Amino acid sequence: MVFSYTWVFINRELNPKNMKTNRLSPTLTNLLNEQITLEAYSAQVYLMLSSWADEAYLDGVSAYLFQHHQEEREHMAKIIEYIQERGGKVTIDAIPAPGKEPKNLLTCFEMVLDQEVINTQSIYNIVNAAMKESDWATWNFLQWLVNEQREEEKLALTLLDKVKLAGGAQISKEGLYEVNKTLSRIPQSFELADDSDSLV
Ligand SMILES: [Fe+2]
Ligand SMILES: [Fe+2]
């Protein structure tokens, strides 16, 4: 008797019509897929800025920005993995062009901060949607990304402060040299966002 009940249960679960394999709502699936593209866009922005810095003889700045582009790719990969883990459909979309190159180091770091803030706002929007749906798995997953953004905004603001202290748009060659030297040491002297405490 137990066997037949079990069999009926398993048989019902294995019937594709009864299987609920997708645990993500269409709204959250769309928002997470859009976030994949936004993370890829952020990576493109960092790559563009890194290439600009290299051409401007700022090797330390270039290396820092290049390293950061890899972090954005990691964010993208983690979101892809999460959608797949929840049985959702991943959609890989076209990445918009990263925009014009900066005029100077000040505008370079302003672009870094701007795109991080846009990213944060987008993530907050998904957190709100997850809360609205009581999708606590997605809400919990996103706390890692919320924390990442806090760290990345902090780093972007630190970069801007350094350039402003050294003269902003009117930064001297000596100032550029010092900022570049400082940034070349960032991987050793600053905590990477991925190493920060996470609620997850
Ligand atoms: Fe990111
Ligand atoms: Fe970022």
Whether residue 163 contacts residue 109, with contact meaning beta carbons closer than 8 Å, is answered with yes
- pLDDT value of residue 200: 41
Cα(28) to centroid(ligand 2), Å: 21
Cα(116) to centroid(ligand 2), Å: 5
The tens digit of pLDDT for each residue in 167-185 reads 898 889 998 998 899 888 8
Q: How far is CA 84 from CA 88, 114, 135, in A?
A: 5, 30, 16
* Domain with residues 25-195, CATH architecture: Up-down Bundle (1.20)
Counting ligands in written order, the one closest to the CA of 116 is: 2
- pLDDT value of residue 199: 44
Counting ligands in written order, the one closest to the CA of 117 is: 2
Domain boundaries, the chain: 25-195
Two tokens at 187?
């991987």
**Which residues in the chain land under pLDDT 50?**
188-192, 196, 198-200
Q: Long-range CB contacts (< 8 A, 24+ apart) of 191-197?
A: 191/151, 192/71, 193/71, 193/148, 193/151, 193/152, 193/155, 194/71, 194/74, 194/148, 196/147, 196/148, 196/151, 197/147
- pLDDT value of residue 190: 45
